[in-house]
Structure 1
Amino acid sequence: MHTSPDGTEVVATRSDAEALASPPLLILDEVTAFFDKHGLGSGPLSWTSIGDGQSNITYRIRRGAEDFVLRRGPRPPLPRSTHDMVREARIQQLLRGQGVPVPEILAICEDESVLGVPFYVMAYLDGLVITNTIPPNLSSMEERRATSAAVVDALVRIHSVDVSSGDLASFGRPEGYLQRQVARFSGLWDVNTTRSLPEVARIGSWLADNVPESSAAAVLHGDYRPGNLMFAPQSPARVIAVLDWEMSAVGDPLADLGYLTATYSEPGSASTPLELTGVTRHPGYYTRADVIEAYRQRMDLNLDALPWYQALALWKASIFCEAIYTRWLKGERPHDLVFGPSLEAGVPQLLRAAAGFAGLAPAPL
């Protein structure tokens, strides 16, 4: 049995789970039975958590000589719309059929009686996620540039998938997507904060008053950044999987480009809580302008309004980061010694950056 900061995380049997006040995240006999049913390996399971578990939770499961990845939502109760594992798995299945590099989905469990929430199992991939360390095999100037080019190439492949008909068309309503985003996040601020930051309303009003006309509809990843890409471990640099599709939708593709470029680290760029792949500050990687130009050359889209999308990205980020900060203040993240407390200053940093993209004068101190 393994104990996490949030309570018992993994137990051996259903009876062990029923004896707990808070449900575990994995019940090994239930997972074993599910794997048996779907022909996924044989023998006892071993497991290791992957990632920080701040949102949906991912485990590497080893069974015999085979490795798998199990992904599930956090403990209930949680809004289904933000942790819909079935939807997340199915959009990857559809995109894989269209040639987008995503993990192979091996099985989906919609039965909440198994682990308390739906989950899915995907193939394990041996690759690299690039954050703050340059991989030795991709460290030459040529490979750094190729790494950047691969980031743009994968985004172009996603945005080039036809969503005008078929199953992908049902994953969102592109008409009014931007207006809905502004309205939805405007309504989330007051319920997620304990402090007054007037910049949120000021930027939100500017966004609402200046919504651009979408020129295309595409699959949106929703959190597209280098840290959500898995690269092949050997050169040449290439993306073997785009990960973490929990925020995917069908809408305006410039929302993804705006998020990628607004959060992109380059020499001299201001640090924010969303700087998650700092290696691109080093020589050889694309600058923000390089990313935009590479995308422009591949996609026949007018990018004149891109600063609006960049402001939207950071404004939304400030709101969901404020929710994390409020949880930390309330003692709901007792073992978070770094990220939560950093958001006292981090959220205002995001708002200042958003205002900059919006062309708004700095707020008076």
Structure 2
Amino acid sequence: MKGLDLERLRDYLGSDRELTGRMFAGGRSNLTYAITDGERRWVLRRPPLGHVLPTAHDMVREHRVLEALSKAGFPAPRPMLLCTDTEVIGAPFYLMEHVDGTIYRDENDLQALGGPAMHALVLSLVDTLVQLHGLEPAAIGLADFGRPEGFNARQVHRWKKQLDASRSREVPGIEELHARLAVDIPAGGPGAVVHGDYRLDNVLIGPDMRINAVLDWEMSTLGDPLSDVALMLVYAGLPLEVKNGRGVVPLAVPGHPSILEISSRYAERSGRDVSDLHWYVGFAAFKLAVILEGVHYRYVQGQTVGAGFDTIGSLVGPLVMRGHEALEGN
């Protein structure tokens, strides 16, 4: 299996049972595998193959935040084991518990939910984000997990560096978008644990439309909670998948709450001021454009595993345009 040697993993775990596994579809960054010995089930996470950006794909950080959040009662998978020895499978990795649930990223599955269930699903997504941002970092052992002061300014600088490290082509308008974002950066309010990539297809949903687990914590830190809200809004208007040139946009699915209802729900439940999200949405679009450009970079270098990477690059341009529109008040 590409990216994972099951025999070496079995030897490391000291298991007397044969391991089988499969890679989860849909991931665009860290690689995620379902592992079983026939009786027990786990999920393994490891960095992507090839080009890895500085500060990204840190297994130790992911393991730490999952441990803290799961102990605090937040719906995050419980980590089971951390291995930093790259000799085992060729990269650091960790194992976590297997959580049952459905990831909704297929248009037919979303349409089949029906309006009321789709509405409840998205509101559950919002309420879970409120729950995350309501946790006190120091109380759950994450007081030093990041530096909330100056978070937005550092993010603007960091993601420009990430862009420069992943260039394989010219992206019209992206430099101008960064320059506009850097002019008037919000100071931000009190810091919180932020996910960094919060969206519909990063959660496992139970049959009652409640969230069983929030996944993919590789970009989590302490920072401005409005950054998560803005990214969630940007994702709502972007395709979950692109098939045969056709994108699946969550906002277009019957029952999906409007952008206004989502932001109002978050404001009401969290008590936070969301009256001016324009800069945050503009930055969220820029950040996501940089992330997808990095995925596109790995794709053109032949360093991706799985299907669907050929369409990722086409999403970068529209994201840059969305960022400019947000800064203009749209």
Name the amino acid aligned to 1:36: G
The 3 A distance-change label for structure 1 pair 308 and 272 is farther
Task: Tell me which residue corresponds to 1:160.
Answer: 134
Give the match's secondary structure for 1:64.
Answer: coil
Q: Structure 2 residue aligned with 1:287, among 258, 276, 295?
A: 258
- Normalised TM-score (structure 2): 0.88
Give the match's secondary structure for 1:212.
Answer: coil
Q: 1:256 Cα deviation (Å)?
A: 0.3
- Normalised TM-score (structure 1): 0.80
For residues 126-275 of structure 1, what are the structure 2 equivalents within 5 Å? 126-133=100-107, 135=109, 139-164=113-138, 167-197=141-171, 199-232=173-206, 234=207, 236-265=208-237
Which structure is higher in RCO with an 8 Å CA cutoff and minimum separation 6? Answer: 2
Q: What is the aligned residue count?
A: 327
Distance 2:45 2:240 in 1: 28
Task: Tell me which residue corresponds to 1:124.
Answer: 98
**Bigger radius of gyration, 1 or 2?**
1
Q: Does 1:300 align with 2:271?
A: yes
RMSD of aligned residue pairs (Cα, Å): 2.9
The 3 A distance-change label for structure 1 pair 119 and 191 is closer
Tell me if structure 1 keeps the 8 A contact 2:278–2:329.
no
Q: Does 1:354 align with 2:323?
A: yes
Query: Could you give the per-residue CA deviations for residues 283-310 of structure 1, whole angstroms, max 9, x where no partner exists?
Result: 2121221111110101121213311111
Question: Percent identity at matched positions?
Answer: 29
Task: Tell me which residue corresponds to 1:22.
Answer: none
The 3 A distance-change label for structure 1 pair 145 and 328 is closer
Task: Tell me which residue corresponds to 1:34.
Answer: 12
Q: 1:34 Cα deviation (Å)?
A: 3.2
Query: Could you give the per-residue CA deviations for residues 84-137 of structure 1, whole angstroms, max 9, x where no partner exists?
Result: 112101101101111210112111112222222221111112210011246499
Q: 1:360 Cα deviation (Å)?
A: 7.6
The 3 A distance-change label for structure 1 pair 103 and 95 is same
Distance 1:359 1:273 in 2: 28
Task: Tell me which residue corresponds to 1:12.
Answer: none
Distance 1:128 1:26 in 2: 24
Q: 1:240 Cα deviation (Å)?
A: 0.2
The 3 A distance-change label for structure 1 pair 140 and 186 is closer
Query: Could you give the per-residue CA deviations for residues 318-363 of structure 1, whole angstroms, max 9, x where no partner exists?
Result: 223233444545x5369988644662x53221111110000089xx
Distance 1:44 1:59 in 2: 16
Give the match's secondary structure for 2:91.
Answer: coil
Unaligned runs of at least 5 residues, structure 2: none
Unaligned runs of at least 5 residues, structure 1: 3-8, 10-24
Task: Tell me which residue corresponds to 2:64.
Answer: 90
